[in-house]
Amino acid sequence: MKKAEANNLKDIIKKAYPRRRYTAIYSSIKEELRVWVYYYGEEKPYDKKEENNAITYLLNSIADNGIRPKYRIERKKDQGTNRHTYICFR
């Protein structure tokens, strides 16, 4: 994925989440865009249905614009019990 394609995806994500602050980071070395989708940890228990809904909403909002990039789901642990779910677009 090139920088122009990543910026196009970022614009689509901004339209999908107009009021929510999101994190989208582009890595030129890996040529991928990583988008934060879901969080759970000490204060918020894990809810598989909520995580699936968040992932599905983001992918559908991108597909509605006619773009279907390759992606993978990545889960990372941060500082012990905090866990984050990302979608990495290639």
73 SS3 class: strand
Spatial CB neighbours of 5, under 8 Å, sequence gap ≥ 6: 69
Please give the pLDDT value at position 55. 93
Span 12-51, pLDDT tens digits: 988 888 777 778 899 999 999 999 999 898 888 999 999 9
Please give the Cα distance from 4 to 33 (Å, whole number). 11
pLDDT greater than 90 at residue 81:
no
Q: Is the pLDDT of residue 56 over 80?
A: yes
Farthest CA pair distance, the chain: 39
